Amino acid sequence: MLYLYCKELTDSPDMYSLKHLNKTTNVNKTNNNNNVNVLKDFKAEAGKAKSAKQGNDPQIYVVFISLLLDLLAFTIILPLLPSLLEYFKQNDNSVFYRVLTQSMQKFQQLVGAPERFNSVLFGGFLGSMFSFLQFLASPIVGGLSDYYGRRPVLICCASGIALSYFLWALSRNFALFVLSRFIGGISKGNISLAMSIITDVSSEKTRSRGMALVGIAFSLGFIFGPMIGAFFAIFANKNAGPWFVSPSLLAFTLAIGDLLVLLFCLRETLPKEKRIKQISSSLSWQLLNITSIFRKFKKQ
């Protein structure tokens, strides 16, 4: 009898309403807790975005360190070029070097330059080739980063630069040395990518801070890099075979350090929803058409 009474009481409409009310209350509490957690996450993300737009994003300093290491490695070779060219002149009898020498002699006669300036002409050729390749590669690298993202393309550039220094250390003939400079030139789009990353993580008001750090990296790199190269140029024993292995390995070490910084510290700054949908639109001939760029400036 007692069992039947309790069952009847449990199955009554009033008891059912009470159970339903308790369940609804528990569900509402759960939903409220979820809403609070979502709100906290939203506030945290908003705080991160606000911090980034205020110029406090740590990615700016990652870019600064990366550029500093890259520019130190890049400028080490500058004081060494005359001695390097003299080394290849004395030790390289390859067909490539002879053909290039004959071409330089014709150019020397054309402009009326003395023969003692051959090394200057060779250095000018290498510098012009490197800069021209950088000019070609930078817009293409920028277009690829708009499609694939900044991080993977920048890591590829850093890998190519490290490979160029490694080939320089192995170069026992002028052809391999030119190849190392060629690879370094086409991989040198990292400068424009660094500026793109700073643009991604800063606002118009705070962008000048990041660009100032880029300028500081250039200044420090072009101050201390040539000093290190000059040290090797003065104190290296140039009669002991390939004396340039030490500075090239130092440049390679700096490039590897740059690569490690990018691998472990750099995050992607261009979200997928902001990337270009078709790679063909990012790799058009207009990227290399200088006249079209100036026409755009005139329209503005």
Total of domains in the chain? 1
Helix, strand, or coil here: 244?
Answer: coil
Domain assignment present for 15: no
Q: What CATH number is attached to the domain comprising 190?
A: 1.20.1250.20
Domain assignment present for 133: yes
* Residue whose tokens read 């690298």: 141
Domain assignment present for 186: yes
* Residue whose tokens read 């993300």: 45
Contacts of 119 by beta carbon, 8 Å cutoff, 6+ apart: 81, 82, 85, 86, 89
Mean pLDDT value across residues 165-188: 93
The amino acid occupying position 161 is I
Q: Please give the share of the chain, as a percent, with pLDDT higher than 90.
A: 40
Higher pLDDT, 278 or 299: 278
Domain assignment present for 203: yes
Domain assignment present for 268: yes
Across the chain, what does the average pLDDT equal?
79
Domain assignment present for 26: no
* Residue whose tokens read 């100036």: 294
Number of neighbours of residue 252 by Cβ within 10 angstroms: 20
Sign of CA dihedral 270, 67, 71, 174: negative
Res. 240: pLDDT tops 90: no
Q: Are 86 and 243 a contacting pair, CB within 8 Å?
A: no
Highest mean pLDDT among 110-114, 222-226, 275-279, 281-285 belongs to: 222-226
Residue 200 CA to residue 212 CA, distance in Å, equals 16
Contacts of 284 by beta carbon, 8 Å cutoff, 6+ apart: 143
Domain assignment present for 30: no
Q: Are 266 and 115 a contacting pair, CB within 8 Å?
A: no
Structural domain range at position 280: 60-94+121-288
Contacts of 72 by beta carbon, 8 Å cutoff, 6+ apart: 220, 221, 224, 225, 228, 254
* pLDDT the model gives residue 3: 43
Domain assignment present for 274: yes
Express each pLDDT in 45-69 by its tens digit.
Answer: 444 444 444 446 889 999 999 999 9
Angle at 130 between CA 124 and CA 136, to 5 degrees: 130
Q: For the residues of 207-222, what is the DSSP string, one character each?
A: HHHHHHHHHHHHHHHH
The amino acid occupying position 199 is T
